[in-house]
């Protein structure tokens, strides 16, 4: 029987790459649900191609367009953010790929896990903000999280078959982004275009800027803490510009495991969808002779302060990662709108972490409240 897949955020970078994986593995998968926030045009085209049972458009303003376009098809069309959470209750979903960007993914993720779903998780912000709540919910209800991000997929794969064998540490690899070897003075004046031009990975805008500032790696450290139930002091970051080694697990017996591949997000996306199986595909195979030398160097946290700030938020815990995430979100948008320079993102994040009150044990509503307060404060700081 084919696996029935829900793709949340089907018009985004992860969503479209997931659909290209499914195109090739059409004998294994059917598309059950497609959701998008704003891109109604692409959502309609995808719906006509894949004929899912349900389509959800997050932005209610686009509902009439989507409904009318799909009128003659046997597809249910819903609208609004709540509808995205509600469809996660459908018992015809075998796996939900969460490709939505931002904290909006939190409610659908919790809904999916409460309904004992398997989720292929690409969204970062939800784990950064409420990783503890998400991992607890998965355990309590029997949902399962399979990471999609290349680093976490690598760690997940390294831990397969390891039972409870003790881990010494996890090392996350980072490409270092487009400004790895540039001076602070140079980075101060980089443009939006330069920041979006990532050397190894093809990604959405937000993740590309976060990779350029290393915030992405800091957020991945926070994600790793919750995905693998590991202490913050057991997580390290190393720069590896070629993006061939996707992260490493050090075991206490001094053995180290890693996972390598050509940098192509479709590889971890496919693995998350076919897990625990591996399925042949047509993607580029890794050729180490052609790759040549692999380099490793320590991250420069003076230049890329966001990485240090993320580790600080991780250590402080509570709602600090939520503050970090919200302030960064606003600051990245301001950078994309050409209102601030790339390095000012760290200033906004740092000031927000000082100004917004810390909550030791936040509830779900505390997270949403912290998110709102921080965004307000960050907008003020940018003005």
Binding site residues, Mg ion, CB under 5 A: 149-151
Nearer to Mg ion (CB atom), residue 237 or residue 323: 237
The CA distance from 36 to 45, in Å, is 12
Nearer to Mg ion (CB atom), residue 149 or residue 371: 149
The CA distance from 41 to 24, in Å, is 23
Residue whose CB is nearest to Mg ion in the complex, by number: 149
The CA distance from 301 to 22, in Å, is 39
Nearer to Mg ion (CB atom), residue 151 or residue 264: 151
Q: Got the DSSP string for 205-228?
A: HHHHHHHHHTHHHHHHHHHHHHHT
SS in 3 state form for 252-297? CCCCEEEEECCCCCHHHHHHHHHCCCCCCCCCCCCCHHHHCCCCCE
Shortest CB 100 distance to Mg ion, Å: 16
Nearer to Mg ion (CB atom), residue 219 or residue 334: 219
Rg (CA), the chain: 20
Shortest CB 156 distance to Mg ion, Å: 13
Nearer to Mg ion (CB atom), residue 125 or residue 149: 149
Shortest CB 210 distance to Mg ion, Å: 9
Nearer to Mg ion (CB atom), residue 238 or residue 355: 238
The CA distance from 91 to 118, in Å, is 12
Shortest CB 277 distance to Mg ion, Å: 23
- Nearest to 334, CA basis, from 378, 364, 298, 301: 378
Shortest CB 275 distance to Mg ion, Å: 18
Shortest CB 229 distance to Mg ion, Å: 19
Residue 258 contacts by C-beta under 8 Å, 6 or more apart in sequence?
Answer: 154, 158, 245, 246, 247, 248, 249
Residue with tokens 């040549």: 292
The CA-atom distances, in angstroms, between 295 and each of 175, 239, 256, 285 are 10, 8, 17, 20
Question: Which two three-digit tokens encode residue 108?
Answer: 């659908």
Nearer to Mg ion (CB atom), residue 52 or residue 131: 131
Burial class (CB in 10 A: 0-12, 13-18, 19+), 375: middle
Shortest CB 151 distance to Mg ion, Å: 5
């Amino acid at each position: 029987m084919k696996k029935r897949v829900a793709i949340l955020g089907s018009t985004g970078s992860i969503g479209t790459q997931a659909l290209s994986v499914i195109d090739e593995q059409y004998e294994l998968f059917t598309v059950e649900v497609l959701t998008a926030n704003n891109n109604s045009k692409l959502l309609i085209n995808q719906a006509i191609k894949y004929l899912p049972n349900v389509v959800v458009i997050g932005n209610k303003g686009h509902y009439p367009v989507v409904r009318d376009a799909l009128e003659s098809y046997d597809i249910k069309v819903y609208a609004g953010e709540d509808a995205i959470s509600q469809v996660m209750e459908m018992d015809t979903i075998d796996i939900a790929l969460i490709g939505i960007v931002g904290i909006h993914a939190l409610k659908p993720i919790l809904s999916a896990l409460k309904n004992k779903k398997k989720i292929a998780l690409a969204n970062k912000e939800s784990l950064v903000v409420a990783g503890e709540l998400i991992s607890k919910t998965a355990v309590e209800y029997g949902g399962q999280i399979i990471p999609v991000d290349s680093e976490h997929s690598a760690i997940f794969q390294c831990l397969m078959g390891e039972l409870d064998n003790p881990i010494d540490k996890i090392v996350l690899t980072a490409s270092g982004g487009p400004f790895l070897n540039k001076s602070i003075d140079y980075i101060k004046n980089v443009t939006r275009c330069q920041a979006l031009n990532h050397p190894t990975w093809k990604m959405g805008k937000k993740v590309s800027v976060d990779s350029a500032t290393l915030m992405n790696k800091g957020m991945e450290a926070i994600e790793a803490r919750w995905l693998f139930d590991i202490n913050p002091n057991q997580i390290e970051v190393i720069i590896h510009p070629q993006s061939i080694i996707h992260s490493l697990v050090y075991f206490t017996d001094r053995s180290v495991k890693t996972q390598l591949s050509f940098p192509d997000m479709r590889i971890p996306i496919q693995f998350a969808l076919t897990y625990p199986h591996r399925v042949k595909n047509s993607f580029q195979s890794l050729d180490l002779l052609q790759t040549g030398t692999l380099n490793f160097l320590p991250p420069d946290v003076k230049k890329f302060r966001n990485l240090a700030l993320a580790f600080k938020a991780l250590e402080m815990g509570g709602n600090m990662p939520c503050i970090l995430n919200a302030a960064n979100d606003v600051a990245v948008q301001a950078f994309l709108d050409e209102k601030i320079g790339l390095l000012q993102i760290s200033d906004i994040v740092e000031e927000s972490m000082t100004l917004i009150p810390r909550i030791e044990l936040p509830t779900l509503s505390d997270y949403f409240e912290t998110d709102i307060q921080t965004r307000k404060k960050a907008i003020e700081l940018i003005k």
